[in-house]
């Protein structure tokens, strides 16, 4: 056996002896810990804490001896730990902000829905005549309008005005404030506010309450504006609406007839003055007489005495009868067409007047030339 082999065997033997000694020492240590007294245990724990503290103080100078590579690795790990902590805090803050925004949005939506619900309810009560609530409110306002008009008329009687004038004035002022409150509610509840405010009925409501700000309570202008409420009767009676629509459709014909009457009155007035200047003091008086004669009213305050004047009066009476008959026929035909809508739209099956070339509901062509068997596609 050479020298190198012998040294290697000795080294292996020493390592084996050392491991055995360590094992025996650990076993003895465990046995000694089990057998130690409470005082010895407290002393041993104190020594272990002191050793740990010494190890901590040693680790601080170890930072001074670390290599540049170790320092870079340590700093990178510290930055990564700080970044992870910051991102977690940012995510938590973002989550809190999102939750707050969600709660605010829910609250805003709830408030908007509540306001919309109030407007829809008021709109049904003030504008929808097909519901029970709408009929009660609108017909109640109608009764109030009629009562106000008749009370205002009774107030023109001297005896009633002397006894009840102050009470009637207080009642009229209270009614005007009710109408003002109704007008404000209608503006708030209207689906198309601009259309209502500048529409026919909106302007009537506005003029009715206008004297509260600019008129004297007992003035004639206030009484006149108050009487404008009567024009809202057409809103509550569909037949009146139909009549007004028929008249509006025939407005050109009506204007033509009125122009004809005016021209005939002026011509006949001048002619009557020329025939009987002693009866008709001037041409304007003659025009007044001709207009009264054509309307078949005949006040009797002015009567022609000559044969030519009587002939002129007879002609005016015949012209007036023809004009009145023509006007009556035009309006009657228009009203009849709108009331008796026997035609049905080819697309939406709603009643349509025969005079309409297009359906007023859907816009479908109603002409006879439409081909029902042609595929639009």
CA 232 to chain centre: 23
Q: Is 300 part of a structural domain of the chain? A: yes
What separation, in Å, do the N-terminal and C-terminal C-alpha atoms of the chain show? Answer: 112
CATH of the domain at 198: 1.20.120.350
Q: Tell which wins on pLDDT, 25 or 360.
A: 360
Q: Is 15 part of a structural domain of the chain? A: no
Q: Is 181 part of a structural domain of the chain? A: yes
Q: Can you give the pLDDT at residue 266?
A: 93
221 and 261 share one domain: no
Could you list the residue range(s) of the whole structural domain that residue 206 is in?
Answer: 122-236
Give buried/exposed letters for 58-94 (b at 16+ CB in 10 A, else e): eeeeeeeeeeeeeeeeeeeeeeeeeeeeeeeeeeeee
129 and 206 share one domain: yes
pLDDT tens for 233-246 read: 767 776 676 677 66
Q: Which residue, 203, 236, 269, sits at the end of a domain?
A: 236
- Helix (H) or strand (E) holding 351, with range, is strand 351-352
Q: Is 286 part of a structural domain of the chain? A: yes
Range name among 228-242, 309-323, 353-367 with the lowest pLDDT average: 353-367
d(CA 71, CA 64): 9
pLDDT tens for 172-200 read: 888 889 989 999 999 999 888 888 899 88
Q: Is 115 part of a structural domain of the chain? A: no
Q: For the chain, what percent of residues have pLDDT higher than 70? A: 65
Give buried/exposed letters for 142-152 (b at 16+ CB in 10 A, else e): beebeebeebb
Q: For the chain, what percent of residues have pLDDT higher than 90? A: 11
Domain count, the chain: 2
pLDDT tens for 29-87 read: 554 555 566 666 766 776 676 665 555 544 455 555 667 777 777 777 777 766 666 56
211 and 297 share one domain: no
CATH of the domain at 267: 1.10.287.70
218 and 305 share one domain: no
Q: Is 135 part of a structural domain of the chain? A: yes
d(CA 68, CA 81): 20
């Amino acid at each position: 056996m050479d020298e190198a082999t012998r040294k290697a065997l000795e080294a292996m033997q020493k390592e084996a002896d050392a491991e055995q000694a360590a094992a025996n020492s650990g076993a003895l240590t465990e046995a000694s810990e089990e057998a130690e007294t409470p005082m010895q245990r407290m002393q041993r724990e104190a020594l272990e804490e002191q050793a740990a503290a010494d190890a901590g103080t040693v680790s601080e100078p170890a930072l001074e001896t670390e290599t540049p590579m170790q320092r870079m690795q340590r700093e990178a790990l510290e930055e990564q730990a700080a970044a992870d902590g910051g991102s977690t805090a940012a995510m938590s803050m973002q989550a809190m902000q999102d939750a707050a925004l969600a709660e605010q949005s829910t609250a805003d939506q709830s408030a908007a829905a509540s306001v919309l619900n109030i407007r829809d309810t008021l709109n049904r009560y003030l504008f929808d005549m097909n519901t029970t609530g709408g009929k009660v409110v609108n017909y109640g306002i109608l009764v109030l309008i009629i009562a106000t008009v008749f009370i205002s008329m009774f107030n023109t009687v001297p005896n009633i005005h002397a006894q009840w004038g102050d009470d009637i004035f207080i009642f009229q002022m209270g009614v005007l404030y009710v109408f003002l409150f109704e007008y404000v509610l209608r503006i708030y509840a209207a689906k198309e506010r601009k259309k209502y405010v500048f529409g026919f009925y909106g302007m009537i409501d506005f003029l009715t309450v206008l004297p509260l700000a600019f008129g004297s309570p007992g003035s004639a202008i206030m009484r006149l504006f108050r009487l404008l409420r009567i024009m809202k009767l057409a809103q509550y009676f569909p037949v009146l609406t139909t009549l007004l629509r028929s008249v509006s459709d025939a407005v050109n014909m009506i204007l033509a007839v009125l122009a004809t009457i005016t021209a005939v009155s002026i011509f006949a007035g001048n002619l009557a003055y020329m025939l009987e200047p002693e009866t008709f003091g001037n041409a304007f008086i003659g025009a007044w007489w001709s207009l009264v004669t054509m309307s078949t009213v005949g006040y009797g305050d002015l009567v022609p005495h000559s044969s030519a004047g009587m002939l002129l009066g007879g002609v005016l009476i015949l012209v007036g009868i023809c004009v009145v008959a023509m006007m009556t026929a035009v309006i009657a035909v228009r009203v009849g067409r709108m009331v008796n809508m026997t035609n049905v739209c080819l697309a939406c099956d709603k009643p349509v007047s025969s005079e309409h070339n297009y359906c007023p509901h859907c816009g479908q062509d109603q002409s006879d030339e439409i081909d029902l068997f042609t595929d639009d596609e």
